[in-house]
Amino acid sequence: MIWKRSAVLRFYSLCGLLLQAAASKSKVKGSQGQFPLTQNVTVVEGGTANLTCRVDQNDNTSLQWSNPAQQTLYFDDKKALRDNRIELIRASWHELSISVSDVSLSDEGQYTCSLFTMPVKTSKAFLTVLGVPEKPQISGFTSPVMEGEMMQLTCKTSGSKPAADIKWFKNEKEIKDVKYLKEEDANRKTFTVSSTLDFQVDRNDDGVKVICRVEHESLNSTPQVAMQVLEIHYTPSVKITPSIPIPHEGQSIILTCESKGKPLPEPVLWTKDGGELPDPDRMVVNDPNSMPGQTGPDHALIGGIVAVVVFVTLCSIFLLGRYLARHKGTYLTNEAKGAEDAPDADTAIINAEGSQVNAEEKKEYFI
């Protein structure tokens, strides 16, 4: 009986030890499950960053977010730092999520989520802030450029973080052989990037669009561009095209002269064997400086000049006729004055005004 009682006591003791060991093991396993989980975040300067900390198993233990300077931002649902940009998204035993709006480059750094167990467990999340590059500018172009000269164009952009990439295109074809330079601003931790393009221009470059394109991860696949339209001056070229490749004797032929240059060349002048001009009726000149349809003398201008000359001549004849008619009437009137009541011609002549007789009588009368 004593042996059986001793055996039973040993059995219960063994069971107690097994239960204690199982409880201890379960406690350790639960403690290992209480571990905060975070993720790194990348945001564009001026945007909003969301920081999330999660715990799969939590026995009512507090969570806390701290910034790179180890200042507490939120402790559970209680705000600890007076910064209007920081707001609470969600607070529970399994999650603490906050947001930081209007992010600046100085906000970049390592943020910490803490779970207040014994001991305290932490998880790190690195916030990366991207600096947006400014709109690029192209310099170095002076209009116009003569054909055959070397041209150097420089494209520049500032404020990128990390350093932006610059590509050149001419007629939508990328140019590979360029120079690239980047300079870092130590205060803002941003970069100023420039790229230089050197090439020799020809007449085919006139009117061509040269594009500088800035690519950066902050631009969301929408690169910034700058464009420069080239203006190239080049010497004229002249080409004569016959209407019939090989004419026969007696056939009419039209010669077309096409001149091309920049600036526009002077009007085309025709010569034949260095001197004599061809028949104008059989010559067509394609002059880029003339208006369409003007292939001969301006007949409208000649007709206008003739009309003016005829009009002036008619006016002169009319004025001359009036002048002669007026003087003739005056002569007849003076001749007849004072002779209306004369009985004969001799008396009329004597009595007429202005006659020599009356003139002499008046002279003697005054004496």
CB 200 within 8 A of CB 150: yes
pTM of the model: 0.60
pLDDT of the chain, 367 residues: tens digit per residue = 433 444 433 443 334 333 344 434 434 344 455 789 999 999 999 999 999 999 988 778 899 999 999 999 999 999 999 999 999 999 998 999 999 999 999 999 999 999 999 899 999 999 999 999 999 999 999 888 999 999 999 999 999 999 999 999 998 899 998 999 999 998 888 999 999 999 999 999 999 999 999 999 999 888 999 999 999 999 888 888 888 888 888 888 888 888 888 888 877 788 888 776 655 554 444 444 444 444 445 566 787 788 888 888 888 888 887 777 776 555 444 454 555 555 655 555 555 544 444 444 444 433 3
Helices (H), the chain: 2-33, 299-336, 345-351, 356-366
**24-41: buried (b, 16+ CB within 10 Å) or exposed (e) per residue?**
eeeeeeeeeebbbebeeb
Of 233, 153, 155, 165, whose CA–CA distance to 198 is shortest?
153
Of 271, 290, 289, whose CA–CA distance to 280 is shortest?
271
**Maximal C-alpha separation, the chain:** 209
